[in-house]
Amino acid sequence: MTDKNDEYWMRYAMALATRAQENNEVPVGAVLVHDGEVIAEGWNHPIGDHDPTAHAEMMALRQGGKALENYRLLDTTLYVTLEPCTMCAGAMIHSRISRLVYGARDAKTGAAGSLLDILHHPGMNHRIVVEGGLLAEECADQLSEFFRLRRAQKKALRQTQREDQ
């Protein structure tokens, strides 16, 4: 059931993804909403922090726990620009968010239905309402552009190195 504010919050998450990109991180952003208000936000920074768990979702969940002073984030919705991986999906289950809305699907590591479906596994003790594909094309374009630029930078660097030899 799509909420009338879902597009607004996804665009907010996309702006957070831009912050990741500005720091040469994969542009993924996440915003955690409770009662129509932002209680937490995050963007990718595992490279800069040297932390494999510093995904946008994890940052938002950590902040959300502090904001609510509870590790259970009941009655919250997490908006994220890219389908969560298994680590992030597991954290969502443990945090007891109510709803996940994501943008682009991730066929390589997506754990909300694309590669795996951790969130709907019958053995899980918590169910999360999942809605994928919101502004999917725009979210995917943001990621594609980042990787296109990164490939171009690597190609230019290799060319420069060859010329220096």
Which amino acid, residue 42? G
Q: Does 85 show up as a binding residue in the annotation?
A: yes
Residue 163 to residue 44: CA distance in whole angstroms: 34
Tell how strand 99-104 and strand 76-82 pair up. Answer: parallel
Q: Does 139 show up as a binding residue in the annotation?
A: no
Residue 116 to residue 121: CA distance in whole angstroms: 9
Q: Which long-range contacts link 106-110 to residues 24+ away (Cβ below 8 Å)?
A: 106/82, 109/85, 110/82, 110/83, 110/84, 110/85
DSSP state of 125: S
Catalytic residue among 25, 41, 57, 83: 57
Is residue 30 within 8 Å of 57, Cβ to Cβ?
yes
Q: Is-catalytic flag, 138?
A: no
Known binding-site residue numbers: 55, 85, 88
As annotated, the binding site for Zn(2+) includes 55, 85, 88
Active-site annotation, residues? 57
